[in-house]
Amino acid sequence: MTNTKILEELLIEIDNCAKSQTKRADFALTFIEAIESLDDLPFSVIDEARDWQYKIETMGDALQTPTDSQNKALKTWIKRLITTYA
């Protein structure tokens, strides 16, 4: 699977989490596994992803609100990865 496809699927998973179709804990695990599976990604990006994973795990139901600023910020971060590393 290409980096682009993996990251686009993550964007879909964010929406699923926002619609309460995916549990937050499951999404946090899916998220970090997806990022770590990307090809040619610098460690600094993986480190940022681990920070995001922590936020996902600890921010309660904030990610499950499609209009939440954290939700939007995470999507923006993933879109930046698509632009830069896909």
Could you give the CA distance from residue 63 to residue 5 in angstroms, rounded to a whole number? 22
- Could you state, in order of their start, the residue ranges of all structural domains in the chain? 3-85
pLDDT higher at 71 or 34: 34
What is the structure's pLDDT at 16?
85
Give the Cα separation of 23 and 64 in Å (integer): 9
Q: How many angstroms separate the first and last alpha carbons of the chain? A: 11
pTM for the complete prediction? 0.87
Residue 66 has pLDDT above 60, yes or no: no
